[in-house]
Amino acid sequence: MMSGATEADGVITKAHLLTVLQLLETGLSGTELRRVIEHAEVRQDGLVDVSCWVDSVFGKPASNSDIPKANRNLEDRHDVAVNLQNCLAGIATPARAPQGPPVRTQSVECEILSCPWYDCMAFFLEAVDLEQVNNTCRSLRCEVTISEADGHRKLLLPVAELDEETADAVISRISMPHVRILRIWRRGAFAAIAELVGSGGPSRLKSLERLAFKGCPLVLEDFQQILTPVFACAGGLKHLNLEKSQVTDAMLEVMVSSGAFAAAQPESMNLRFNRITAKGAIALASCPEGFSRMRWVNFKMNQLGDEGALALATMLKQNSSMTMLNLRRQTPPLTDKAASGFAEALRQNSTLEQLRLRRNRIGDAGANVLASALRLRMARLAERFELDLEENRVGVEGGLALLKSLPAENSRIELLLSGNSFDRQALERRVQEVFEDTEVTLNAQDARCCFASKPEGAL
């Protein structure tokens, strides 16, 4: 809230104060915001003391009888501040929540605010910034800290990023049971988490919704002693990022056999650039409960091979939540055998929207069976679908089959064909050869067949 301050002692112009409140998305209308701003007492130099303003809005308001008669013209301005304070008082922030097992904070609808205000602020602040807010005034200190079992007040920080140098210090200052997003960089930071869980149990991370270990190398003992208990305790994970973390089959098998995968039910998982083979994919696919809320999984650059891909294809037949599966650049590369498995899955699955098979070895036979399944799927669902076959071994015959699979009128399908052994001109020549003496017309210029490589970030 100090953005735009003109001095170091916590003062700000009214214009900047209005801007800050707008950025926090408090849910106040323009008129209500201006009335709240008017509650700020302006000093002789034209600036507002933020600490005094916050105390006046969030602290206990004076009753009408306490307002001197000479200041009765302040009543209208005061009403909005009272309304704001009363509204905040009815929101179940962790600072006001009763002590006990339930910790996850849900947004509470009210007339003024559409979500807990402390989330609006704390999601944009790091621990050091939140400490400055904590020291601003008594009212804010009550809102951004909570008393833990040991009697110490800890900062309420929804998002925590830990690196080797600061992990221990950050963990000592914040309430870990209330952290919802945790990002861990490097092995030293994970060691601090391991110590935390080892001393206080997995419930120390019971509110976790998103967990990222991007680039942090893990070993089997990490899953056995730390991660699987945390996953099972948290439940309902929204995202698990294990990119470049040296994840192996044994680690995924522990996740499944312990019941942690079924309990966590993540909505998305990033497993790219790891050491997962068919064995790990088969272990995950054998647990449909773990995929019950899954929206997408990224297995890019692993070692699943056809066997692992077929296990995931079998899982997709009964799945009703997945919208994207990324199997780009597997070792060994996926072949027509895997393509046949996914074609069968597409005949039964109704939710998948993106199937990424880029940089494998799928040829004309695989393209043909996928085209047949895609044609039936689009007739059945007529919904968005993207099939990424860039940089495979599809020839012009496979391209022709895919072109024929396109519905006459449907702009929500994309076939990504760049980097194969034919281009649009070759496809157009083949269409003319095959249908020269018939009334059938195919448009090789159909924009839904894409021959320009599409960046993965735009997929």
Whether residue 110 has pLDDT greater than 50: no
Closest by CA to 212, choosing from 159, 257, 250, is: 159
For the entire predicted model, the pTM comes to 0.76
Whether residue 79 has pLDDT greater than 60: no
Per-residue pLDDT tens over the stretch 19-34: 766 665 555 667 767 7
Q: What is the pLDDT of residue 255?
A: 96
> Mean pLDDT lowest for which of 56-65, 192-201, 318-327?
56-65
Count Cβ neighbours within 10 Å for each residue of 95-133 and write b for 16 or more, e otherwise: beeeeeeeeebeeeeeebbebbbbbbbbeebebebbbeb
Per-residue pLDDT tens over the stretch 394-447: 999 999 999 999 887 766 899 999 999 999 999 999 999 988 767 667 889 999
Q: What is the pLDDT of residue 50?
A: 65
Give the alpha-carbon dihedral of 258, 260, 261, 264, to 10 degrees. Answer: 170
Whether residue 163 has pLDDT greater than 60: yes
Percent of the chain scoring above 90 in pLDDT: 51
The residues, ordered by sequence, that sit 6+ positions from 308 with a Cβ below 8 Å of its Cβ are 276, 277, 278, 279, 280, 281, 282, 302, 330
Pair 415, 402: CB distance under 8 Å: yes
Pair 327, 304: CB distance under 8 Å: yes
Query: How far from each other are the two terminal CA atoms of the chain, in whole angstroms?
Result: 37
Per-residue pLDDT tens over the stretch 370-395: 999 999 998 888 788 999 999 999 99
Q: What is the pLDDT of residue 134?
A: 67
Per-residue pLDDT tens over the stretch 166-190: 899 889 888 999 899 999 988 889 9
Q: What is the pLDDT of residue 102?
A: 41
Percent of the chain scoring above 70 in pLDDT: 71
pLDDT tier at 155 (50, 70, 90 boundaries)?
A: confident
Rounded to an integer, what distance in angstroms lies between the CA atom of residue 34 and that of residue 206?
A: 40
> Mean pLDDT lowest for which of 74-83, 266-275, 321-330, 341-350?
74-83
Mean pLDDT of the chain: 81
Rounded to an integer, what distance in angstroms lies between the CA atom of residue 231 and that of residue 251?
A: 13
Name the residue with tokens 């049971």: 177
Rounded to an integer, what distance in angstroms lies between the CA atom of residue 55 and that of residue 136?
A: 9
Please count the other Cβ atoms lying within 10 Å of the Cβ belonging to residue 39: 19
Using CA atoms, how far residue 164 sits from 128, 186, 189, 297, 377, in Å, is 16, 6, 5, 29, 50
The residues, ordered by sequence, that sit 6+ positions from 149 with a Cβ below 8 Å of its Cβ are none
Pair 181, 159: CB distance under 8 Å: yes
Domain with residues 313-459, CATH architecture? Alpha-Beta Horseshoe (3.80)
pLDDT tier at 100 (50, 70, 90 boundaries)?
A: very low
Name the residue with tokens 């599409």: 454
Per-residue pLDDT tens over the stretch 447-459: 999 999 998 765 4
Q: Which helix (H) or strand (E) holds 72?
A: none
Whether residue 93 has pLDDT greater than 70: no
Q: What is the pLDDT of residue 379?
A: 84
pLDDT tier at 236 (50, 70, 90 boundaries)?
A: confident
Instruction: Give the dihedral sign, CA 31/32/37/38.
Output: positive
- The residue ranges of every structural domain in the chain are 11-89, 313-459
- HSE, side-chain direction, 13 A CA sphere, residue 408: 2
Pair 222, 198: CB distance under 8 Å: no
Q: What is the pLDDT of residue 62?
A: 39
Per-residue pLDDT tens over the stretch 288-299: 999 999 999 999
Q: What is the pLDDT of residue 412?
A: 84
For 396, the token pair is 């012009």
Q: What is the pLDDT of residue 94?
A: 57
Pair 288, 315: CB distance under 8 Å: yes
The residues, ordered by sequence, that sit 6+ positions from 18 with a Cβ below 8 Å of its Cβ are 33, 34, 37
Segment 67-90 mean pLDDT: 43
Q: Which helix (H) or strand (E) holds 210?
A: strand 210-212
Q: What is the pLDDT of residue 146?
A: 84
String of DSSP letters for 335-361: -HHHHHHHHHHHHH-SS--EEE--SS-
Per-residue pLDDT tens over the stretch 200-226: 899 999 999 999 987 889 999 999 999
Segment 153-161 mean pLDDT: 86
Q: What is the pLDDT of residue 101?
A: 44
